[in-house]
Structure 1
Amino acid sequence: MNQQLIYRIGLVWVVFCLYTGAIAQPPRGPLVVSPQVNADKSVTFRYLAPQAKAVELSAQFEKGPVPMTKDAQGIWSITTSPVKPDIYPYSFRVDGVTVMDPANVAFFPNERFKASLVDVPGDTPLIHAMRDVPHGNVTYEYYPSAEGTTGSLVVYTPPGYDQSPSKKYPVYYLISGTTDTEETFFKVGKTNLILDNLLAEGKVKPMIIVMPYGNIAARVAEQKGGAKPADPTVRDGVDAVKRANDFATDLVSNVIPYVEKNYRAIANRENRAIGGFSRGGGQTLRTAFNNMDKFAWVCAYSSYLSPQEMDGNFSQIVAKPDQTNKQLKLLWVSVGSDDFLYKGTVEFMDYLKAKKVNFKNLITDGGHTWMNVKTYVAATTPLLFH
């Protein structure tokens, strides 16, 4: 076979491969850029759906769903008014079905709703912004948990942790809210960046932050082939309290020993803090009040315990306030003025005040949002371990 024939056969084969490869690929639509944060802090959202009859934007900075407009290519879009700098969840409603933004890799980890995230930066970098400072590490860990299951954690170690093998650190156990996952404080709360920035400013002590998954019942069901149980309907009902106690048992019996075996943690109550948002805040208070020998620093974000539960289950906390005040180096309670848990949280603060239990508090604007959670983390971490 001569060289020219070999060349022609090879050329035909290349063309054939390119052709068959091309017909095997699905057709691609036009490039969609979304979200696009504009110079004036307005945001343009786009979604490709040529066959859709109606697409709406649902965003936490909007009062309700906002209709989007379709162009000749089938791209639906909307440009918002200028938005206050922060990180916000959003989604699209396509003919009544809620979907994430397929053009955006940033998403909100949650068991139920599936939202994307848009980060509107400030003219001056916000406390959660990526800055040119030393950064800690974020590690995913798996540990032996309840009923023979495998639990999951996200662990933050501060800058310099790996370079100082003899140094030990205090630990902050930080628990997400109802339907959130162990990733939410990391991916939405940006806790790692907040700590990096506060450390660079000299405002916090270097610490390890451990972010566990709060829904033990769901994980047990998932790993044993069962259906995820519905969430408790009453915040301080029998089922809710049992689940909180199951979480406390897992944290104290499994998570803390795992962390203190695998990380250079200072293993005493004066160097353990616990905090949480929403359901995680309720778990925080119940875990701490049932284990005063384990935690000296307690932070409840947008959460509370009712006076009835306090009197019934935690009378030891309020019966001897002087002893409680000596044990707790910090009891923190915070909530937004538009939060649906505002009334109960204020009632909890009034109860503590009447019982002469010391606490610090912060009431902010806004509702039950992760925008507020970032504010609370930035406000409380400088108070820990001093």
Structure 2
Amino acid sequence: MFRFRTAGRLLVAAVAISSQALAQMPQRQPTPNDTLKTPQVLPGNRVAIKIFAPKASEVMVSGDFLGGAKPLSLTKNEQGVWSVTTEPLKPDYYTYTLTVDGVRTADPKNPTIKQGISSLENVMVVTGNETAFEDNRPVPHGEVRQVWYQSGTLGMPRRMHVYTPPGYEKSSAKYPVFYLLHGGGDDDSGWNTIGRAGFILDNLIAAGKAKPMIVVMPNGSMPPPSTTGAPNQSQAMSRMRTLFADELLKDVMPLVEKSYRTLANRENRAIAGLSMGGFQTLDLTLGHPELFNYVGVFSSGFFGSSIDEAETTYARGLQDANFNKGKKLFWIEIGKDDFVMDANKKTLALLDKHQIKYQYRETDGGHTWINWRQYLNEFTPNLFR
């Protein structure tokens, strides 16, 4: 009993001392950041973007919601909160980035991000009927998995994202495969985050507009060369082309066809990509015409000197008398204001010269995910028909 009471008195004393110590510690003062909400969609589809930065002297915001216009300046109030309200925005998913005193930074109050190979951007959404095709709707959902593997081509661990359709786990059926490639500066997460690919496929399949399929989203960004001295543009393009093609053909495709229930033939393979991924799609399609029956090129073409070398580099595909017979769909789409339009036009001229058949469409807009999500939604229902 004596020991129990002694222990109890010691415990009470310790609690009292701790309480006194806490009372003597300087208390944190509340700030406007504690309750700050951003971004906020306001009536009329305007969006308020804010950041608490009381010591900053200048804050700017840029993003695809500006449609290519200059960054917006934020204004600081007396509490140190910087803010700006956009013009009315069409319902869609948008990326934006803050710059505080010249330093690019993510919005610390917005946890929704798009990851790239060397940067982060925040994502905001203005919902409406126009976003129904890409929203998380109450339909059966597939799964998107992060798949790590050892690349024999690159000698390093690599990651890809793989979408399997609703019911895949409970089924014994085999599925066609769609290889979906991202653009420069992004990685294999791009189509799954800001690209909304999983939700777009879910909604198309639920509506009966697309066949259930496996979608493979590999990392198309190659590691920088280890040698000193920067290669010229032609060398860099050739290296990127060779490395990506080798990794896809020798590492990614064999792993997918071994690990998943696939229909492993050209009639059940599709490939599409945006920007850099569109160039990679062209490279694989013309360099290996026997692999894919369905092809999509979004906002792309042969860039720089690659167009001058294409006649030689892609002689196999361009001169293949059966090339058109082996393609049920060769789809090319681009925005009218896209900065790669010149490369796109030169690529179309090359295809026309060799009587390569394709479907071509120009849309409004430029080189943005706003277009590429729409292109995926339009392209996918045509696959494996």
Same fold (TM over 0.5): yes
Instruction: Measure the CA separation in 1 of the matches of 2:14 and 2:264.
Output: 69
Counterpart mapping for 1:312-331 below 5 A: 312-321=312-321, 323-331=322-330
Decide whether aligned partners of structure 1 residues 132 and 315 sit closer, same or farther in structure 2, where only a CA change above 3 A counts: same
1:351 partner letter: L
1:240 to 237, 241, 250: 237
Over residues 240-259 of structure 1, what are the superposed CA-to-partner deviations in whole Å (9 max), with x where a residue is unaligned?
02211110010000001111
Over residues 328-383 of structure 1, what are the superposed CA-to-partner deviations in whole Å (9 max), with x where a residue is unaligned?
12111111111011122123223323422111122111111111110111111111
Give the structure 2 partner of residue 52 of structure 1: 56
Instruction: Measure the CA separation in 2 of the matches of 1:228 and 1:214.
Output: 23
Instruction: Measure the CA separation in 1 of the matches of 2:373 and 2:129.
Output: 18
- Aligned to 2:161, the other structure's residue is in SS state strand
1:30 partner letter: D
- Aligned to 2:88, the other structure's residue is in SS state coil
Give the structure 1 partner of residue 34 of structure 2: 30
Give the structure 2 partner of residue 158 of structure 1: 165
- Aligned to 1:119, the other structure's residue is in SS state strand
How far does residue 153 in structure 1 lie from its aligned partner after superposition?
0.4
Instruction: Measure the CA separation in 2 of the matches of 1:179 and 1:261.
Output: 29
Instruction: Measure the CA separation in 1 of the matches of 2:58 and 2:47.
Output: 20
Give the structure 1 partner of residue 365 of structure 2: 366
How far does residue 215 in structure 1 lie from its aligned partner after superposition?
1.8
How far does residue 19 in structure 1 lie from its aligned partner after superposition?
5.5
CA contact (8 A) 1:338 1:367 kept: yes
How far does residue 210 in structure 1 lie from its aligned partner after superposition?
0.7
- Aligned to 1:216, the other structure's residue is in SS state coil
Query: Is the aligned partner of 1:95 residue 2:95?
Result: no
Give the structure 1 partner of residue 65 of structure 2: 61
Decide whether aligned partners of structure 1 residues 240 and 24 sit closer, same or farther in structure 2, where only a CA change above 3 A counts: farther
How far does residue 144 in structure 1 lie from its aligned partner after superposition?
1.8
Gaps of 5+ in 1: none
Decide whether aligned partners of structure 1 residues 312 and 320 sit closer, same or farther in structure 2, where only a CA change above 3 A counts: same
Give the structure 1 partner of residue 198 of structure 2: 192
Instruction: Measure the CA separation in 2 of the matches of 1:318 and 1:45.
Output: 50
Give the structure 2 partner of residue 280 of structure 1: 277
How far does residue 7 in structure 1 lie from its aligned partner after superposition?
6.8
Decide whether aligned partners of structure 1 residues 25 and 370 sit closer, same or farther in structure 2, where only a CA change above 3 A counts: same
- Aligned to 2:51, the other structure's residue is in SS state strand
Query: Is the aligned partner of 1:129 residue 2:129?
Result: no
How far does residue 61 in structure 1 lie from its aligned partner after superposition?
2.2
How far does residue 200 in structure 1 lie from its aligned partner after superposition?
1.1
- Aligned to 2:133, the other structure's residue is in SS state coil
**TM score, norm. by length of structure 1:** 0.89
CA contact (8 A) 1:125 1:131 kept: no
Query: Is the aligned partner of 1:342 residue 2:341?
Result: yes
Decide whether aligned partners of structure 1 residues 384 and 19 sit closer, same or farther in structure 2, where only a CA change above 3 A counts: farther
Instruction: Measure the CA separation in 2 of the matches of 1:382 and 1:229.
Output: 46
CA contact (8 A) 2:194 2:369 kept: yes
Decide whether aligned partners of structure 1 residues 19 and 330 sit closer, same or farther in structure 2, where only a CA change above 3 A counts: farther
Give the structure 1 partner of residue 310 of structure 2: 310
CA contact (8 A) 2:286 2:318 kept: no
Gaps of 5+ in 2: none
Counterpart mapping for 1:208-227 below 5 A: 208-218=214-224
Instruction: Measure the CA separation in 2 of the matches of 1:90 and 1:6.
Output: 56
Over residues 214-266 of structure 1, what are the superposed CA-to-partner deviations in whole Å (9 max), with x where a residue is unaligned?
12224xx6xxxx69997x774xx232022111100100000011111111111
1:293 partner letter: E
Count of residues paired in the alignment? 374
Decide whether aligned partners of structure 1 residues 320 and 267 sit closer, same or farther in structure 2, where only a CA change above 3 A counts: closer
Query: Is the aligned partner of 1:262 residue 2:259?
Result: yes
Over residues 268-326 of structure 1, what are the superposed CA-to-partner deviations in whole Å (9 max), with x where a residue is unaligned?
111111111111111111122222222221111111136533311112323244x1011
CA contact (8 A) 1:217 1:229 kept: no
Instruction: Measure the CA separation in 1 of the matches of 2:363 and 2:223.
Output: 32
CA contact (8 A) 2:91 2:130 kept: no
Instruction: Measure the CA separation in 1 of the matches of 2:21 and 2:40.
Output: 38
1:260 partner letter: E
1:324 partner letter: F
